Chain A
Amino acid sequence: GQSLEQPSEVTAVEGAIVQINCTYQTSGFYGLSWYQQHDGGAPTFLSYNGLDGLEETGRFSSFLSRSDSYGYLLLQELQMKDSASYFCAVRDRSGNTGKLIFGQGTTLQVKP
Chain B
Amino acid sequence: EAGVAQSPRYKIIEKRQSVAFWCNPISGHATLYWYQQILGQGPKLLIQFQNNGVVDDSQLPKDRFSAERLKGVDSTLKIQPANLEESAVYLCASSLGLVSLIEQYFGPGTRLTVT
Contact = CB atoms under 8 A, between A and B. Distances in A.
Tell me if chain B binds chain A.
Answer: yes
Interface of A: 30-31, 33, 41-45, 48, 50, 87, 89, 91, 95-105
B104 A48 contact: no
B48 A102 contact: no
A101 B33 CA distance: 12
Interface of B: 4, 33, 40-45, 48, 55-56, 91, 93, 98, 101-109
B45 A101 contact: yes
Given A97-B55, A99-B48, A45 B103 contact: yes
A87 B55 CA distance: 24
B56 A43 contact: no
A16 to B, nearest CB: 25
A41 B108 contact: yes
